[in-house]
Chains A and B, each alone.
Chain A
Amino acid sequence: NIVLTQSPATLSVTPGESVSLSCRASQSISTSIHWYQQKSNESPRLLIKYASQSISGIPSRFSGSGSGTDFTLSINRVESEDFSIYYCQQSYSSLFTFGSGTKLEIK
Chain B
Amino acid sequence: EVQLQQSGAELGKPGTSVKLSCKVSGYNIRNTYMHWVNQRPGKGLEWIGRIDPANGNTIYAEKFKSKATLTADTSSNTAYMQLSQLKSDDTAIYFCAISYGYNPWFAYWGQGTLVTVSS
Contacts and interface: CB of A to CB of B under 8 A. Distances in A.
A11 interface: no
B105 to A, nearest CB: 4
Interface string A25-46: 0000000101010100001111
Contact of B106 (A36, A85, A95, A97): A36
Nearest to B103: A49
A1 B47 CA distance: 12
Nearest to B112: A43
A17 B35 CA distance: 35
Interface residues of A, number: 24
A94 interface: yes
A3 B103 CA distance: 21
Interface residues of B, number: 20
Interface in B5-48: 35, 37, 44-47
A1 B45 contact: no
A46 B105 CA distance: 8
Contacts, number: 56
Nearest to A1: B62
Given A1-B62, A95-B61, A96-B35, A87 B44 contact: yes
Given A1-B62, A49-B105, A44 B110 contact: no
Contacts of B109: 43-45
Interface string B88-119: 00000001000000011111011110000000
12 contacts: A34-B105, A36-B106, A43-B110, A44-B45, A45-B109, A49-B103, A49-B105, A55-B107, A89-B105, A89-B106, A96-B104, A100-B44
Interface of A: 1, 32, 34, 36, 38, 43-46, 49-50, 55, 85, 87, 89, 91, 94-101
